[in-house]
């Protein structure tokens, strides 16, 4: 085989890899968008039902239980993915999107429709920009991602304490502002990480499971961008 033949084969293999990667990434993003659609539909229907919203505000313990359930699903997907069937992973993913739709509904009911729309558009712009950064950058974001995960854990613990005991609005706003920065960074990190799923997955079955995990990670990034931007800049109906 001469150099020209080898070069032609190498280019063909590179083209096949790139097309496969693009198809995989499109599949991950499509699954994420479908989950966002499910969450959005549930949230919208509940937020326009005054009786349902009043019930949730009067029984906040239900929202806390649902939040704990979503945390459980999150840890199960992240830590137990390799042991579960693909159908189980998909089921947990859609269950998470459904429960999250219920949890977000009271938040949507508080703010005006224009505030919700602006928060969504702003989230989409930030998410799209940071996704592009994560997909195209040549810099390894692993150490950056580790730093962001530590920050995320601190935010989660502080937010829980503030929600249950402190009820400090200034602290809540500060946490929302920091969360926007953290999830912008995590979006770029997760997109790069999902690209590596495709490169290193040992089998198609594992790759399919990792696609669910990737969609879940991106879903969380978008939802958290949206809810925190809404808290920061949203206009209350009252």
Which residues are registered as beta bridge partners of 111?
Answer: 236
- The 3-state DSSP class for residue 25 equals helix
**How many Å separate Cα 91 from the centre of its chain?**
16
Q: Residue ranges of the alpha helices (H) in 81-203?
A: 86-110, 113-136, 142-161, 169-200
pLDDT at residue 13 is higher than 70? no
Q: How confident is the model at residue 11 (pLDDT cuts 50, 70, 90)?
A: very low
Q: What is the mean pLDDT of the chain?
A: 89
The two structure tokens encoding residue 45: 């229907």
CB-CB contact of 219 with 35 (8 Å): yes
Q: Which residue has the tokens 């712009």?
A: 125
Residues 143-154: tens digit of each pLDDT: 888 889 899 899
pLDDT at residue 131 is higher than 80? yes
pTM, entire model? 0.91
Give the C-alpha separation, 103 to 99, whole Å.
Answer: 6
């Amino acid at each position: 085989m001469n150099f020209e033949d080898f070069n032609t084969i190498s280019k063909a293999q590179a083209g096949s890899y790139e097309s496969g990667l693009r198809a995989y990434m499109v599949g991950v993003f499509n699954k994420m968008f479908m989950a966002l659609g499910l969450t959005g539909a549930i949230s919208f229907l509940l937020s326009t039902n005054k009786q349902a919203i009043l019930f949730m505000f009067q029984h906040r313990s239900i929202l806390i239980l649902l939040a704990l359930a979503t945390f459980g699903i999150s840890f199960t997907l992240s830590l137990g993915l390799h042991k579960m069937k693909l159908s189980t992973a998909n089921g947990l993913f859609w269950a998470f999107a459904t429960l999250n739709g219920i949890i977000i509904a009271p938040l949507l009911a508080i703010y005006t429709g224009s505030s919700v729309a602006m928060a969504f558009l702003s989230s989409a712009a930030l998410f799209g920009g940071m996704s592009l950064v994560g997909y195209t950058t040549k810099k390894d974001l692993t150490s950056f991602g580790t730093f962001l995960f530590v920050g995320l854990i601190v935010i989660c613990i502080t937010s829980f304490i503030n929600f249950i005991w402190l009820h400090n609005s200034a602290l809540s706003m500060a946490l929302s502002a920091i969360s926007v920065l953290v999830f912008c960074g995590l979006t770029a990190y997760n997109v790069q990480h999902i690209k590596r799923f495709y490169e290193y997955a040992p089998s198609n079955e594992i790759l399919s499971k990792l696609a669910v995990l990737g969609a879940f990670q991106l879903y969380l990034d978008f939802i958290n961008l949206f809810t925190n931007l809404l808290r920061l800049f949203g206009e209350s109906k009252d």
